[in-house]
Chain A
């Protein structure tokens, strides 16, 4: 079982609200990632980090932001949620260039 945790697991929130999705890992991995996954669609990389104070945008345009102040913590923030942000968000971490360990995901619904 991978030691990477996401909270909350499910979130229903109103349009315009600010939200932060939490992701923590206890494996000491430098590389961390946020993916967006819609049913029947590929995982799309929205943000990644190769270490503390390092963050980059991924391939999928996103209105979210991330921070990496501590190795184990990689939160994702939406300043103003919209219905188009409804999706599943998956956090992952990796040591080296092989296996990525995924969290259980946060299923976000914006109403």
Chain B
């Protein structure tokens, strides 16, 4: 079983829709949770970073962590065509020397 599971999609939505991206994980020691956005032919860039459980909001993006369910989510409000990219979840733990484990990424297409 993979430590981090992420549906690869693709996910296609109309412009303006609310997008929900999710990951599940098996290692209860994970404490740091990240979402990266990767445009085609580019390297990933950090979008959101959360420590432990709870919500974090940044503009149109909201990250949620539910440690009891080992489930994290990224919500995108008022999605735009420029949000079309691959979104990778990532997580790490002190016990693992902060080694970051990445999900496979979900490809998102936002249609104008």
Contact = CB atoms under 8 A, between A and B. Distances in A.
Given A40-B8, A42-B4, A43-B88, A99 B46 contact: yes
B107 to A, nearest CB: 8
A105 B43 contact: yes
Interface in B70-112: 88, 92, 98-105
B50 to A, nearest CB: 11
A101 B4 CA distance: 21
Given A90-B44, A100-B46, A105-B43, A42 B32 contact: no
B104 A102 contact: no
A102 B102 CA distance: 13
B60 interface: no
Nearest to A59: B99
B45 A2 contact: yes
Contacts of B103: 42
Interface in B47-82: 49
Given A40-B8, A97-B98, A102 B45 contact: yes
Chain B interface extent, by class: 20 to 34
A95 to B, nearest CB: 12
B104 A104 contact: no
A98 B43 contact: no
Interface string A36-59: 000011110100000000000000
B42 A40 contact: no
A41 B38 CA distance: 13
A41 B49 CA distance: 22
Contacts of A103: 43
13 contacts: A35-B102, A40-B8, A42-B4, A42-B102, A43-B44, A97-B92, A97-B98, A99-B46, A100-B46, A102-B36, A104-B41, A104-B43, A105-B43
